[in-house]
Amino acid sequence: MRVSITGLTLLFILMLLSACSSNVDYTPDEIVKTEKSVTAIKRIDDYQIRLKTNLVNEQTAQLLRFQAGLRYVGSESKIEIMHGYDIHRIDLQIDDQSILPPSSSESIAIPTLLTKNEWLEENMELSMNEDQFERMIKSDGDIVLYSYYFEDGRTKVENMTRALSIKMSDIFQ
């Protein structure tokens, strides 16, 4: 079953998310660094979100590749969530302000069944222009993963902003 969300409804939800997001802690619970990659994981309520990316250098940093993940770790064996076409969004921020152009989209509510302890993964790419790259390096900006989903009837508005961030210095060689 797909439920259409109008542009006005989506705008209202995004305004609520923005109002609630100022007190949200984006710090990962765990960061694992290898010779080639960085993985950050954060538990939020009955879920974990994960951001994996390869280490980058000046030649490779303008095209960032990520694998975003969502995992249910609660008490039930399966649970249904609702989300838009993309569950995750990546943002580049300096001093809590996005350096990417604004974006918006009209979305639908797609049901997805999550099995306990299994990752739902999404591969993503984000390109930076030279100015954005230099600003991110100079200020040690944040790469923020937002996860947008809800459990029908169980998610409170104040729990809708789910995010984690890693520093540019975490992935830059």
Compute the Cα dihedral for 88, 109, 105, 97 and give only its sign. Answer: negative
Tokens 């609630």 identify what position?
20
> Over 70: is that where the pLDDT of 3 sits?
no
Question: What are 19-65's pLDDT values in tens digits?
Answer: 444 557 899 999 999 999 999 999 999 999 999 999 888 888 788 99
The pTM (predicted TM-score) of the whole model is 0.81
The reported pLDDT for the residue numbered 164 is: 93
The reported pLDDT for the residue numbered 85 is: 83
Architecture of domain 3-171: Sandwich (2.60)
> Over 70: is that where the pLDDT of 133 sits?
yes
Q: Pick the residue with more confidence: 84 or 52?
A: 52
pLDDT tier at 106 (50, 70, 90 boundaries)? low
Helices (H) and strands (E) counted in the chain, each on its own, are: 3, 12
Q: Where are the domains of the chain?
A: 3-171
The reported pLDDT for the residue numbered 12 is: 42
Q: Pick the residue with more confidence: 50 or 133?
A: 50
Task: For the chain, give the percent of residues with pLDDT over 70.
Answer: 78
Q: Pick the residue with more confidence: 106 or 117?
A: 117
The reported pLDDT for the residue numbered 141 is: 95
The mean predicted confidence, pLDDT, of the chain is 83
CA distances to 14, 24, 32, 159, 173 from 21, rounded to whole Å, are 10, 5, 25, 10, 30
Q: List the beta strands (DSSP E) in 13-161.
A: 30-33, 37-44, 47-54, 63-72, 78-83, 88-94, 97-98, 108-115, 119-127, 142-147
